[in-house]
Structure 1
């Protein structure tokens, strides 16, 4: 389902730096953009909106659609390929596709295995994808951490339960820059529905551990390319899932100390604000999206 802007709402693309500054890059009341990726050459942000993929040129400050052929409407789960030329995208038919950033025909990666596939990570060598599987698209069931070869084939779930990350819903699995870990959020540390916390597990399925114990609902940990920093989005206590249009905060931490924020940026948003890794290739900045309403008390 394509999410539009509400009446009186605008979409703002921001860039934050590890030194604590933030700059408004782009604002529109015509198009709801989500989930920026930063291209490997540092020149552009890649976002989704209106079921399509868009390129925002940072120098020209211009937004242009990327024409993809043979793919249904896209959602906000898309990750750049390590070669800097390709991108893996999730579509609203529940499948993962590979495309070129220059546009053109796409290739479907996932099979009709009875699940919806929500992409979040690609391994540093480009050979494997990490995603969340939802059986039969039944969103009352918890998402499961899955991997698959980036050119398709059987999922790792066939391998006698490769990943043991508890029975709670998990989401956002993303590879560490060294390829040794998958970072994610999970409800497995709490009996309270929706109480997602940040965690990681080794790619061989061992070493599952909690990164931060908090009273808030924490989603989508994204490591900087140099591995020194991480960003994530913090929802209010009691939030179930990662809905849109809430007072949330984007948080910056050192990966040596997840419990002590280096900086926090409050905003009105949630879904679409920070779903995928949005770090710049030099690890100095990252992008996020806010969706303020015209009522300033909601910003």
Structure 2
């Protein structure tokens, strides 16, 4: 391996590690500039090893701006800061700073973006881009947000061709997403809290591209600065993936519900599901491949939670309001009937059965605040309704009775209401009722399919998951683009607090922090 610098040769090129396996014989080189040409060629083809920054493989100025750019990463906030000059990203050539990763095939890249300062040129640009090459005139497609009101999907269809664009009617968006599906590129954008608006364009790029985030000042002698937070590089599920047989990797994330700032705490190449925050604020309890696990927030370590024979758990597990007990749903027998059990939150060799397999499937969703009852979605009388069960007597009581699906019941902390989701209107929406099943009323009303209402410990907020209207309303499938939404418990208009690739297993269980400021959830990608 050689470490070579071209700064002594009159070239502005940093030092690189050469991993090509080639032997360079300096005695045979008549001009030292040949070495720089060789290094530049290796760099352009991706042979040069780059320093990783966060999720990205390398960064550099494209188009050789007069003033050099930079990229830094804050591991605590998981934010990227870019600095860049550059005349423009338009016409037949581009100048900008690029933080990139080589990606083959389909992808989704999303970020929360903000410029630092008022800026010099209203046409300064920030966004997400995919390019065939690192040359200034390469084919590309991007999701571009300007300093003024323009938001557009820009593209160049051939090396050296004139740049074109498709405008998107979102002004000064804070949240952007760029997706590739074959040769189709989709740009989605929104101001935090709003729904995405999207445009798309068919553009023929290489199967493997340089993809990542960028900044351009639109001024040769001015360096602008911008911050990218909540950056997620998602490799989605294959179109023919088999639900409950083929799994993607998982990120356990936490998020401030009012600022939208997210942080990945733990990642794994298999399926992790449904993190549950303990009452002392020290641990997240989640399930994976039938077993339960503790994630210690102070040490970032994982340990197995002893559930005895109950090692076929689904992702329905809930802590009692006092934090001392854990209830869960475990598949029993050859027919895998979901059955309810309770045990101490510290674990047990002998969980106590609360429902019987012969009664039908029981999918847990909540405790009563006094700890005396569990509420669940039960398959009884050839339909799924919401039931309660007295823990001491095991007596079951139906709370709903509809031919359509009612699911995901959860008590408010004061015990006055049970929130749930129901498809009785044809779209899955949130509802609520009194603890005895009376006064059933709808509480969300838009076109989305809403699942898993979770009430904050202080009783002021409800967070839930929304699928697009195209999804079967009776299903909550894996690996979709979804919204996590927040609404006041007293009523009001919901707003989006996270734009997530996930679905099943993302937020099936109550996952609020004890102080009602954050939630935990799971996002997915191939890892």
- Secondary structure of 1:287 counterpart: strand
Correspondence 1:207 to 2:452? no
Report if the CA contact (8 A) 1:4-1:32 is conserved: no
Correspondence 1:114 to 2:350? no
Q: Residue 347 of structure 2 aligns with which residue? A: 103
- Secondary structure of 1:177 counterpart: coil
TM-superposition CA deviations, 1:151-194 (whole Å, max 9, x none): 3512013xxxxx3464320110000111111100000122xxxx
CA apart distance, 1:31? 3.2
TM-superposition CA deviations, 1:206-228 (whole Å, max 9, x none): 11000010101110110001111
TM-superposition CA deviations, 1:100-132 (whole Å, max 9, x none): 222222111112443110000101110011000
CA–CA distance in structure 2, aligned partners of residues 165 and 176 of structure 1? 21
Q: How does 1:148-297 map to 2 (within 5 A)?
A: 148-157=389-398, 163-164=399-400, 166-190=402-426, 195-240=427-472, 241-261=475-495, 263-293=496-526
CA apart distance, 1:253? 1.6
Q: TM-score by structure 1 length? A: 0.87
Of residues 274-283 and 30-39 in structure 1, the stretch that sits farther from structure 2 once superposed is: 30-39
Report if the CA contact (8 A) 1:165-1:188 is conserved: no
The alignment covers a number of residue pairs equal to 277
Correspondence 1:143 to 2:384? yes
CA–CA distance in structure 2, aligned partners of residues 230 and 172 of structure 1? 13
Q: TM-score by structure 2 length? A: 0.50
TM-superposition CA deviations, 1:29-77 (whole Å, max 9, x none): 3331111111010101110011000111111111111122122410000
Relative to structure 1, the CA distance from residue 72 to residue 151 in structure 2 (aligned partners, 3 Å threshold; closer, same or farther) is farther
The CA RMSD measured in Å over matched residues stands at: 1.9
Relative to structure 1, the CA distance from residue 36 to residue 53 in structure 2 (aligned partners, 3 Å threshold; closer, same or farther) is same
CA apart distance, 1:99? 1.5
Report if the CA contact (8 A) 1:46-1:53 is conserved: yes
CA apart distance, 1:24? 2.2
TM-superposition CA deviations, 1:200-247 (whole Å, max 9, x none): 010122110000101011101100011111100000113121010111
TM-superposition CA deviations, 1:10-36 (whole Å, max 9, x none): 211111113223322324233311111
CA–CA distance in structure 1, aligned partners of residues 341 and 245 of structure 2? 23
Of residues 197-206 and 148-157 in structure 1, the stretch that sits farther from structure 2 once superposed is: 148-157
CA–CA distance in structure 1, aligned partners of residues 494 and 450 of structure 2? 14
Q: Point out where structure 2 has 5 or more consecutive residues left out of the alignment.
A: 1-242, 333-337
Q: 2:371 aligns with which of 126, 147, 157?
A: 126
- Secondary structure of 1:104 counterpart: coil
CA–CA distance in structure 2, aligned partners of residues 152 and 245 of structure 1? 40
Correspondence 1:52 to 2:291? yes
> Deviating runs (4+, > 6 A) in structure 1?
none
Correspondence 1:31 to 2:270? yes
Correspondence 1:87 to 2:329? no
CA apart distance, 1:282? 0.9
CA–CA distance in structure 2, aligned partners of residues 217 and 63 of structure 1? 33
Q: Point out where structure 1 has 5 or more consecutive residues left out of the alignment.
A: 158-162, 295-299
Report if the CA contact (8 A) 2:372-2:392 is conserved: yes
Relative to structure 1, the CA distance from residue 68 to residue 270 in structure 2 (aligned partners, 3 Å threshold; closer, same or farther) is same
Q: Residue 160 of structure 1 aligns with which residue? A: none
Report if the CA contact (8 A) 1:52-1:73 is conserved: yes
Relative to structure 1, the CA distance from residue 292 to residue 107 in structure 2 (aligned partners, 3 Å threshold; closer, same or farther) is same
CA–CA distance in structure 1, aligned partners of residues 406 and 393 of structure 2? 22
- Secondary structure of 1:95 counterpart: strand
CA–CA distance in structure 2, aligned partners of residues 151 and 52 of structure 1? 26
Q: Which has the higher contact order (CA 8 A, sep 6+)?
A: 1
CA–CA distance in structure 2, aligned partners of residues 88 and 152 of structure 1? 16
CA–CA distance in structure 1, aligned partners of residues 505 and 387 of structure 2? 22
CA–CA distance in structure 1, aligned partners of residues 492 and 326 of structure 2? 29
